Chain A
């Protein structure tokens, strides 16, 4: 399982994202990944499906702009669970802040093939702009690799979210630990 490898490599958060799976499959995955995350001291969050996050007692939910409004989700989720929101502009980030999001996923920073995107990448400059403007941890997403991870961390991202950089790597565990080492070294 990719999640187990990523966790062994030191990933601190795993987001479960599968648009076409049935509710029962999602529930089973969320429950098992949640358990796995906890043995590694990591957090498990579910993309979009707040119902699954609640039923499986996941650590939180991650919402895109086409998902349930973040303020509505926060009411259902309670104060203690993690709420993350995907944003690609200052205005969207401000709305996430008002909804008491715990972090924002900002992107896509670089061109990426992992998700179909109609818009242009927003570039690492946007990280600095939003990190300065708002007291919210910024997780950079979209085309992040070992080659550019220093650039986004120096711009003010507190972390990065990746799909292909880990999932498509020949050794996902090693790919994660290398990314983490790079992030640590570029701040020294």
Chain B
């Protein structure tokens, strides 16, 4: 297995779609609460923000994230990741080619979203450090990401690559154990963190799923 540059947390939180009226204020607060309780990868993905605002938001959340053992990744914009001192960059499926960006990452972690085995193998060949694969389960966001691909497909991807794979799409603490049993390294989610009435309980349940 390819050595991961840092021990990646098993829980991965993607920003955006949290339904915040003011993400610049509410998102740092959510990050502060989550990172205080569990190690997590926070991927900043705020496509509506201009680069300056995204850069400033990255600096703000980085303070909470680096005060704990968590990691900050930036979606796609590796220039902002470098400028803000983030730990990694996450490339969406239709991003600038990973191979072209890699030379500029100076040791940062690079990840890639994939929705097929073919894309997963290509991303691994391009040098990705981890993959996000999905949607595994039904999700309210499925219009954007297509129909669920199921645990079987997740298992196939995990068997076919040697980099860590995060399952995404309809992830809950209850189905996390299944994802791990099918070979996922961890799970990634967006709305579960915000929709949760009881954030502490949700995080505790995720933690238990990883420990079992």
Contacts and interface: CB of A to CB of B under 8 A. Distances in A.
Interface string A59-100: 000000111110011011000000000000000000000000
Given A72-B83, A76-B79, A55 B104 contact: yes
Contact of B96 (A52, A69, A73, A75): A52
Contacts of A56: 96, 100
A118 interface: no
B179 interface: no
B95 A23 contact: yes
B82 interface: yes
Interface in A1-54: 22-27, 48-52, 54
Contact of B79 (A26, A50, A65): A50
Contacts of B76: 23, 51
Interface of A: 22-27, 48-52, 54-56, 65-69, 72-73, 75-76
A55 B97 CA distance: 8
Contact of B52 (A23, A51, A68, A76): A68
Given A24-B95, A68-B79, 20 more contacts: A23-B91, A23-B95, A24-B96, A25-B94, A26-B96, A27-B96, A49-B77, A51-B77, A51-B101, A51-B104, A54-B78, A54-B101, A54-B104, A55-B104, A66-B50, A67-B52, A72-B55, A72-B83, A76-B79, A76-B83
B203 interface: no
Interface of B: 50-53, 55, 76-80, 82-83, 91-92, 94-97, 100-101, 104
B126 to A, nearest CB: 12
B82 A76 contact: yes
A24 B104 CA distance: 17
A73 B101 CA distance: 16
15 contacts: A22-B92, A23-B94, A25-B94, A51-B77, A51-B96, A55-B96, A55-B101, A66-B52, A67-B51, A67-B52, A68-B51, A69-B52, A72-B55, A72-B83, A76-B79
Nearest to B102: A55
Contacts of A76: 79, 82-83
Contacts of B94: 22-25
A66 B49 CA distance: 9
A97 to B, nearest CB: 19
A27 B79 contact: no
Contacts of A48: 51
B95 A22 contact: yes
Nearest to B104: A54
A33 B94 CA distance: 20
B201 to A, nearest CB: 37
A27 B76 CA distance: 12
B50 A67 contact: yes
